[in-house]
Each structure stands twice: as C-alpha cells, then as structure tokens.
A and B are shown apart, each in its own frame.
Chain A
C-alpha cells in the first residue's frame, strides 16, 4: 500500500481537493435557516424531552446492545455500507488519487471486507453535533450515522447516561483487545469500554502563523498582545478554553473547585474586554488560520502539524504546548442507537487498532494514536524514507505532541469531570463568555 504520498506541487489543486473546510460547517449549522430558523422537529421533539438521569443500566433480553441482539445482528452479517461521521482533518489522505482510494486506510478496509464506507467529516463541535442528532435519538430514530466520534466530556457522558449509544459487542473487537494501549482501556468516562473505543487522542494548545507573529507564544497571556488585535481565536466548547485557562492560572483542572472556575472565567473574559479576540470558534479555527484571518489561536495538535507538514503554504504554522501545560483529550468512536449497520461499524472501529493501519493514520494526521505498537512502524518508516518524505515522517516520529516525552506528559491535564450537580454551574459561568 502506498500511503506516504508526497503532495503534488500544484497547491491550487490540493486546496480544491481538500476544501473540506469551506462551507460544510456553515451548511450544517445553518441548514434550514432560510426555511424558518429553528427546525420544527427539533422544537417539537424538545417539547417532550424526558431525560433518564442516573446511570445507564445494561440492555437486557433482546434489547439493542444485548448479547442476544448482537447475536442476531451477527447472524444477519455486516451490511454493505457503513456511514462513518468524523471530525475534519482526521483521516489519512492520498492526495495523488481521486475517489475512494484517496483514503488509503478506509480503502484497504473496503478491499478486505467488501464493505463500503461513506466517510463524512461533518463534526465540528461536540455540542452542536450532539444537539443536532439528539432529536432523532430522543424519538428512537436512526441518526443516519453508524459511527460517530465524540470527545470525552459532557456530551459523551450524556450520550451514555441517556442510553443513546449501543453497548458494544466484546467479541467484535479482536484488534482492540490485542493492541489498544493501556491508557485507552477502561477509561474513567466509560468503564470497560462498554460504549466507546478510542479513535485518536490529542492536545489542546496554541497555534500561530510565524508570518505574522514574531514572538514565541508560550501562554494564553501572550495571545492577549494588542499587536494581534482582531486576529486571535479562542475555542468555544465545554472544556478547552476553561481547561487551558486553569492550567495557566496554576490550577490543576482535574481537581478544580468552583472558585477556580470563577478565576478562569475572569481570565477568559479578558479576551472579550480587551478587543484582541476575533472569534470564539469551533473547528472553524482551522479555516481561520489557513485564510490568515487568525494569526494566533487555540488549536488541536494534529490539525496544525498535518497542515504544516503536508501543505507547503502552511509551513509557517507552529503548534506549541504552553509552558504551563496543555489539555489532553480522547476522541471516541461510538455507535448511536438504531444505527443501520452496527456490525459493520464495529468492524471499521476495530480495523483501526491494527498497528499497520494505526501507523498509516498517525503518519498523516499527527495525532496521538491509541495503538502503541504503531509507533515502531512509524519509526521504521521514518528511517526507511527518503527525501521530503523523510523530513515529514521524522518530524512526526519525534514530535512531542505525537509521541509525548515524559517531560511533556507531566504537563498534560485531563478535563474536569463534572458531577451532575456541577454541570449547570459550570455552563452558566462559561457559556455567556462565548457569546457577547
């Protein structure tokens, strides 16, 4: 398999081919805006919202996710199509090929199993994606997605607690059992991996474009420099900005108290008050820095490294882990209720736990892989490579944001896990900052 393609020199073509970022986010978010703002179905569905509270109890009898149910599904066999919905900039691309072969790891899956995968990079924000599929889940309908990828945090916890995810079949994940790293097994947010399998992990730090920024940026405080007024981006979600702010203030976010949250909120409010901020943004920050609207922005590690390494026009991007530390998170593959092809979904998720496949993914997206055995393959590939390839692969193989050194690891913090009674206080404190 030829997975280490050097991008062709024709930048314009590449940009065209990879314009995943253009209007997808906007279309997704504003779809139906013309027809009358908020969709009727979501409102009506919301009308009868009945949460379940408490923790999810396992499925019993022939219920979705039970042993009996999985046995029936397996007897039916995997369907011929899996709908896989993920975040942008997350899957390996072979830029020299048009069509299905342009995603080598998925293409290999289809070659091996005969199952087609419709891959959509439609998730730009956990909050918005969850809010968009919630009405379907609430009314027990198929969301149209067989696999969704959700970050550990409020939304994932709610998906699990409200019973919106199918409990996974332990028998359908041999590669996960064999190769999944210890850190990614049995996570606190999903004991026993009952509902999730890690897709990738990564860090939230700061990215900047050296074309516009001469100084070394090493903290959020540095981003408040009036020189960058109107070109600073901050992430707007339930965890990232809050967590980085606390780390910078010397608070361990994992053990933080409401008083610490208040300090973090006051710190973040400065981004609104000083006028440096261009936008509270989600995945759109990537388009922002690519368009040069943003000069310095909070960012997710692999997005920036991938841009920098594979796209010459973005060579001036830098990703830094702030001196005080960064946030680390795990994006998790999971299967929403009533998914059309749960068996196929598990096969795809498990496929990525093969070391060779995991290595191909890492060599492209520069995120932290849940498969430690893939690291050796990345190292070997880097040694064997020549020319431009070698530079790219060696950078990935030695980058602390892809393979964190112990020193870096000591500076990585998890998100605060919020108790049911803390969520409201957290949201009431931080949400108003993100819209002003």
Chain B
C-alpha cells in the first residue's frame, strides 16, 4: 500500500497538479487551476494522438499475426525444448531496448549493410530510405513488442488439453475446424491479454518514433510531443496535460475493450 502511494499516487498527484499550472521555465510555474491546459493540449496535438492510435492498432494486428503461429508452435510442438524456445525468445531482453533500436537504425541506415548492399547491386534507387518513415517506426515498435504478444498467447495455448483437439477430430472436425472451434476460442484470454500488453506500450512509444522515425515530418507520435515538452521546451504543464489525456484515452479504451470482450472470460481463463 505504501508502495502504491509512493510510486503511483504521489507522482500522479504531482503530475495532475503540474498539468493545471501556468508560467514559464524562466519565471516559474504557479498553480492556477487552468483547465484550459487540457483543451489546449488536445487541440494542438490531435494529429499526434490519432497517429499514435493508428500506429498502435497496426502494431497490435501485425504483432498478433506474427506471434500466434510462434506461440502455437512452441505450445504444441515445442516438446521438451519449450523452455529453451521461450528463453531464446527473451534473449534480446538482455540488451537494453534503446540499444537494440539504435542498432536497427544502423542496420537500416541508407548506406548500411542492408540498403547499401541492395543499392550497390542496383536493386534499389540511391534515394530509397527506410529510416525516417512511418514503416520504420511501426516495424520497430512491432519488433520490440512481439515477445510481449507471444508470451500471454503461449500461456493460454499451453494450457489447452491436446485431448480436446483429438476429441474434435474424432467428431470429424478438420484441422482448421478444430482450430477455429476449439483451440482459438480457448486461447481468447491470451489474445485479450496480448492485445493489451502490445497496444498500450505501442501507443505510448516514443523511442522507436525518435530513433527510427528521426523526427521526420509525419512520423512523430504523441509520446515524442510529451517528451519534447518536458525534456526540451520545458513546458511542463502542457506536457503533463497531454500525458493525462493520453492516459485517460488508454484507460477508457481498455475498459471498453474489457467490457466488450467480457472480463469473466479472463477470470475463467
């Protein structure tokens, strides 16, 4: 409880208080309960909020499509090497994700090992580039988050009794029907968790957008705007207000999502 107070409630309160202040870095900030900070933050940054939501949605869908077969394969065919596969999956986490992302920026640089080679053999025009595009940002976020998508899927798939699949087949279900009618419904709690674990950090990302998007026009996400307000412009109230807007959006989104998919399913899962 003290933990929660110290690490969650106090910082949240401080941010809430900050988001209603006015002033400047030079003259200091005073508490004026200026709720217009919120409307200002929304109206000035709607574009970035929408872009983040869009990127988050794309990342979640792509990550699910990539993760499901991997999780399925490990759960049903991993055999005694399951732990090894899971360990390999988590191996990249032994390196800071900022460094991994920066490494990608080197790999994908215009004259780097990939594009440089393709350009020198004439497969790509000289001016082609991946960095500084939305594709690079989305790919980077997906790369960083896909293990978080795989793990909950794996957990729910692993719990499925293989005899249920056999029973389905005994009842003349094809492999596809067995998957659609038995396996997939039973893995839904995992899908539910995977969507939350992927989409929330994806929407809030700013590292991939900064490193791989490089502040190219049209690539910055709302996280970059918040970061810029705090760590560059020193406009703390606007940054705090925008952070709250983003948080509120995600909480509301998650609640609606939980209602629609049904939380009882999770607790049963």
Contacts and interface: CB of A to CB of B under 8 A. Distances in A.
A48 to B, nearest CB: 9
A436 B213 CA distance: 11
B17 A277 contact: no
Contact of A293 (B109, B236, B240): B109
B234 A134 contact: yes
B158 to A, nearest CB: 27
A26 B109 contact: no
B228 interface: yes
A279 B215 contact: yes
Interface string A58-80: 00000000000000000000000
B174 interface: no
Interface stretch (B24-32, B64-72, B160-168): B24-32
Contact of B28 (A51, A229, A279): A51
Contact of A43 (B15, B29, B110, B234): B15
B249 to A, nearest CB: 16
B132 A278 contact: yes
Interface string A275-304: 101111100100010011100000000000
Nearest to A134: B234
Interface in A27-63: 27, 29-31, 33-34, 37-38, 40, 42-44, 46-47, 49-53
B14 A44 contact: yes
A125 interface: yes
Scoring A212, A230, A293, A424 by chain B CB atoms within 10 A of each residue's CB, the highest score goes to A293
Interface residues of A, number: 61
A40 B240 CA distance: 12
A275 B216 CA distance: 9
Contacts of A46: 18, 29, 230, 236
Contacts of B11: 40, 43-44
Contacts of A291: 106, 109-112
A161 interface: yes
Nearest to B44: A432
A184 to B, nearest CB: 25
A230 B234 CA distance: 29
A159 to B, nearest CB: 10
Given A230-B127, A292-B110, A43 B26 contact: no
Given A132-B231, A435-B224, A435-B228, A277 B207 contact: no
Size class of the contact patch on chain B: 35 or more
Contact of B98 (A33, A50, A132, A277): A33
B26 A23 contact: no
Given A38-B243, A51-B25, 17 more contacts: A22-B102, A26-B98, A30-B210, A30-B211, A34-B96, A49-B25, A50-B28, A131-B230, A131-B232, A131-B234, A229-B127, A230-B129, A230-B132, A273-B217, A293-B110, A435-B215, A435-B225
Interface of A: 22-23, 26-27, 29-31, 33-34, 37-38, 40, 42-44, 46-47, 49-53, 125, 127-128, 130-132, 134, 158, 161-162, 212, 228-231, 236, 271-273, 275, 277-281, 284, 288, 291-293, 420, 423-424, 427, 431-432, 434-436
Interface of B: 11, 14-15, 17-18, 23-29, 44, 96-99, 101-102, 106, 109-112, 126-127, 129, 131-132, 204, 206-207, 210-211, 214-218, 220, 223-228, 230-234, 236, 239-240, 243
10 contacts: A43-B11, A43-B15, A46-B29, A53-B27, A271-B217, A278-B216, A292-B110, A293-B131, A423-B24, A424-B24
